[in-house]
Amino acid sequence: MNDTKHAYTVQEAADALGLSRSTVQKLLHTTDPVDFLPSALMGSKRLIRPAHIEAWLDRHMED
């Protein structure tokens, strides 16, 4: 995910993670700290930083 983008839309994050848009939506609103994916609402768009996607992946990668 070495990209110059500063933020991803929910759909772009879903594509990057190989998950459905609805699954990413659930991750944005879960209260489980392991599954939670932080985001910011900018106008009508919810944006996710690449660093948060990477951190989520790190928490879910199998060793």
- 62: pLDDT confidence band, cut at 50, 70 and 90? confident
Has residue 1 got a pLDDT over 80?
Answer: no
Token pair recorded at residue 32: 């489980």
pLDDT in tens, 26-61: 999 999 999 999 999 999 999 999 999 999 999 998
Has residue 4 got a pLDDT over 90?
Answer: no
Each domain of the chain, given as residue ranges in start order, spans 8-60
What 3 state SS string does 11-55 have?
Answer: HHHHHHHCCCHHHHHHHHHCCCCCCCCCCEEECCEEEECHHHHHH
Residue of 25 and 2 predicted with greater confidence = 25
